[in-house]
Amino acid sequence: MAHRLYVYNIDSKTGEQYPYYLGEWNYEIPELLLPLFSCDPRAKGKLLYFDKINGVERLKSFYQLLGEHYQLLYKKAYYEPVNKMFEMLDNLPYDTFVINGWDVFNMSDEKHSDQARNWVFEIKERSKLYDKAMAKQNLGWLEKEIVTRSGYGSFLEILETDWIDYGLGYWNEDLYKDISETFEDNGLWGLKDKKGNIITPPVYEEIFAFSEEGIAVAQKNGKYGYLRNDGKVLIECIYEEAYDSLFIGNKNYGIIEIDQKCGLLNIETGEIVIPCEYEDLEMLRHVYLFNAKKEDKFYLIDVSNKRVIEEGFDEPFEFNYSGLVYRSLKGTSKKAFYTFEGVFLGEHPEDVLSEIGEGYYWVKPNKFQKKISIIKSDGSLLDTEIDTIMLLDYYTSFAYRKAKKWYIYDIKSGEFRLQTHTIENIHRDWFVQFMKNVFLLSDENGWGLYNAAEDRWLLPSSKEYKKLESCREEIFRVTTSDGMFYFDQKTDTQSSIYDYIGEGIEYNEQMLCLYKGEQMFILDTKRQLHQVSDNQLGALYEKRHNLRGKDQKYFLDFYKGWTERKGAGYEKYFDDATLMSRAEEYINEGKIEEAVRLYEIGVSRGNTDMMVELGYIYVHDDYPEFYDLEKGLALYEKAAAKNHAIAWNNLGYHYQNGIGYPQDIKKALKCFKKSAESGEGLAMQNLGLLYFYGEYVLQDYDLALEYYKQAEKKFYFNDEKIAEIYYQKSDYDNLQRYLRKDKENTYSNIYYGIMYDEGLGVKMNSKKAIKYYEKSLEYAYYTTALSRLLYFYKEDPAFADPEKYQYWKRFGEENEMEL
């Protein structure tokens, strides 16, 4: 079950609270709304407080940036919900937002007030990122820092998520759907806005519930009319009866009564569009047609009083969820079905009619008929006694089988296709997603490809085709006795003959791989044909696992033949990326000699990455048969001369530790800094380590922190050391931020123990200190923790416990801990 945050609006001076909660969110403030809570955030107990007025303005600025960045400002889907959200926020009566985080805070043992204070700090830090983005009018880096952590790809993806609805979906819908509320005074009813201002005086005997469109029936002096939720009188109270408003075709209507007869009123214009001449008038749900009862007969009419079905019946019409209306028949389970246009489709049991498209329907077998029948858009029968029907999404044609023969019918033209052919079989495959109205069929001449909408053969049926199958979107491959060719329905082209045709290896860039003799070709997604060169083949082989079945086997056989033709050393044809990837595979397989051979090819080409990789093999005694320190360092130097970041870092390591060179910390620092300047995170970490420990340089926590922070952006994390720096600097707020990063509890417990023991950044609490000291000793031998535990269990009267004292004393002795 998700833990929730609850948001409210209060008066900062009086403490008066708006009666509705504003929203409830999972775990944290939504990324889209953080600027709203960026103004004067402060904590008091478990509650967080924020300046509402400036926060709303800040959020408007952020939404302006979003709208401009994604070109949304003039799109109705964007500005309608966004305007509604800001109208709701502007109308809130009080000056302060409050977030109650108790439900989320309960997830941690930490005191709620401490969590609230820490959260305020985090909000302030994150707000700086938004401020920077708005100042620079650029969302790019903000998305990397904020959005990617949320699981979305961009702010646009968040905005366009259905339930979020550009931000409106985060809020309690009662806030913007009901902009006013009724109140009673001396038995009469009026309206107040959300701030309590009277917008309609109490003059009505009754104000009924407002609709989704904000319209309610109102009663005054025994008569009825319509009132809008902003107080505007839409229709004066002049009718004997009025019923809830109906929203039809973007207009609001209401059923009214005059002289006990029903009619329909256009609420916006006041025009009576259906005269008050009916004994009863009721709209069918989901249809916007009406049952109109007159002289004891039911008629089906539309909003303009036009009869959809001319004849009147004893039974009312009802809506059927298959998109039809029907009326029940006496003495049978059948019902009379009609389309919304009034076309009679016959009498059938329920749930047997399904739409084909364009007004055509098919009738499933049922107890009244054993086989399928098809009804045309005019209600007449197209055919009966059908065994099987093939319906395909978005097709305007369909096929069916009757008496062991297939038929194809095109709805648009109203004609059967291929009537002079005997269609023996129709194959259904995934290609139908991409090719509309195309059928893969066989007749007396063999297999072929036919477009029913255009009434033409794409590939005339022929016994020459041994196999005809979909290969890629809109592309078929055809096997003949001479080989294979492809047909591209998109370009209406047929290729020449190849030995084999398969799917492309890089799916998003290639349509097909084609083979002819010792040549291989690629048909790309732009339908351009390219011959594969020798230096491309290795890269394709790296992605061989993208292929399946026969396509993969044919490619592997072709590749094997190519390597045999090229002979030993065929890898020299590989591009650098493939060469390096293959060398890495050899390393993983323990084939170091083969890896060295490939790296040497790369080095001869001047590839600095492979210089570094080969240098690594030479300088490490993991590979004793190849150990050559001088040779390895020479490769590092050669790569560093071309400003290779890792080469500089590795040289720094050797100068620092005096391996291959006399130890020279000054040169080590120079190398590490050159590497860091080129963006190498490992070098940043190494510099942080040097200044953190101060073994070879003067200890400098500020410099160490700066380098660790840089390394963190490169995904080299040193949370434990950063925590120690903040502890040494007595910066307990930032210390706690990094302690919370310790999800495995490997280093944070000792700090929590000391902080609660001495009251550093938290309220002193010996009980919590003991708990954290004990936990810390599960991970490391902290003499501070053991010393304090022995003190508590022996010297402190509140916690003295001889048994626990002996336990921890033995623990120290067994682990040779010096106190």
Domain range summary for the chain, segments of one domain joined by +: 4-177, 504-537+544-560, 719-819
Neighbouring CB atoms inside 10 A of 32's CB total 20
Q: What is the pLDDT of residues 327-364, one digit of tens each?
A: 999 999 999 999 999 999 999 999 999 999 999 999 99
- Decide: helix, strand or coil at residue 741: coil
Strands 529-531 and 381-386: unpaired
Q: What is the pLDDT of residues 653-684, one digit of tens each?
A: 999 999 999 999 999 999 999 999 999 999 99
According to the model, what pLDDT value does residue 1 have?
47
Q: Which residues of the chain fall below pLDDT 70?
A: 1-3, 148-149, 178
In the chain, pLDDT over 90 holds for what percent of residues? Answer: 79
Contact criterion met (CB below 8 Å) for 205 and 220: yes
According to the model, what pLDDT value does residue 467 have?
94
CATH fold, domain 719-819, is 1.25.40
Neighbouring CB atoms inside 10 A of 12's CB total 13
Q: 50-83 b/e with 16+ CB inside 10 Å = b? A: bbbeebbebbbebbebbbebbebeeeeebeebbe
- Candidates 194, 192, 224; CA nearest to 206 is 224
Neighbouring CB atoms inside 10 A of 476's CB total 25
Estimate the crossing angle of helix 76-91 against helix 52-69, to 10 degrees.
170
Prediction pTM value: 0.64
Estimate the crossing angle of helix 783-794 against helix 766-776, to 10 degrees.
130
Distance between CA atoms of 769 and 711, rounded to whole angstroms? 32
Dmax over Cα atoms in the chain, in whole Å?
A: 113
